[in-house]
A and B are shown apart, each in its own frame.
Chain A
């Protein structure tokens, strides 16, 4: 059974149709990439999956791991195993990275009927994962995303992902604003999380991220619909020809 099953999804934002009939099925362990021009509805899809307010589903369904996703609030989806790595991670002044992650981990444990995580075990686990992403202790003590560089913010998103161990990772333009070195660190972090039980939906504008995170399938999203689906070679084709064909078709 597919981990994520989207059927005939129509979404409006402020009364304006953005997604116009999306069908998408992701099996456990698969990595799918969604590519498309600006304004095609890529970020809308990620927000709808994460359950953000203001995105109105007018038709269609989303099933996730046996749940009717559209019946669930954003926090319920998160504890059920959906994770969104933000294109623009949000600053939380005064809230340290450690505090934030601990609250998040405990929220999940609570949903699973477990008690709070042992403080020492948590510290050890986070430090170990942070190290692989070149995140220093000093960074973990700072307020979440406050004063972080673009690269630091994206690395921090991947750290959240690594710590929370979600079933479905949605990465929204994680490569934007990254230089080559940072892209490598982030991609390595993502690849380390590839697992037969975990699926990923990688949303990107450019092909270069897919050099590092190799997708099983690539979908082209344009004008609120998936125009084409193929293997990883489709990304290379797009890199060569651009999105012009799809934009005109839309």
Chain B
């Protein structure tokens, strides 16, 4: 990527198409720039190529080969098997497909709940600590940002203690008369739990009969397990501080004049936030949502250090499944295939979200509010 950008920059500085005489492709006063451009970017190209491009190409090869983890993936005994690895992950009706379906379901719920929540919390915190009136803003900013700079392993361990059967969370809940669950050991989905509370224990046959990727529709809508919910709280707790920082930076860049103009027009505090501040934050919002989305789909260390996919596989996510298929089960091709499917998922979600947040042309009806009618002509 950076190589393309660099060469574009170099290209635009060349005196191409000058009226004097025929165009000389090389040489001249700026002829050496291209060479030095390559020279200056060479270290980055080499590093990126060696540590990014080459491993990605190797993984791509492994995902379409029958490499079994012994010796080089390019040795003679390794064969091209086409899309077979992708096939067994995405169809085939076996345990591999079911495991992938379960991990996808878990991660989808995680993303659906974490991304909006962390964005809203981050924005709320940013607006709060950005207020001139607040005393000790520095303290609050540091406090809110602190979880983000703490190692995720440390926070996971802390979380395991907090959410254990006799942990702090359940103690607090018991003051309220609530008998808290054994968080990290409880595999039941929270939506299904809620439905069971209403007396619906068995899904309708329309939902339990069919399914996708070996997981029934009833289980797809079952919600994240209680264990996964605890991890969702953790993600919101740790990441909102980071994104708060982005929002604060954006808020401080907004000019005060627009706000003052709105005040003069008599807009209330909420109106000013909703119609003045929020639209101006759109680029930051896009950044935060994109980063949140990517981070959400890539969740791994909390699972690896905390739950290892349990209880009852309800915290297995594609990234962790990819790791275990490769390193534990010696199905390297499938592990690599899961990695590439995850990559496609992230790209698709990012494109969708970019489409949803695009700058829309102002509609005619709304435009009329801002124009002065001059005899039928604008």
Whether A associates with B in a native complex is: no
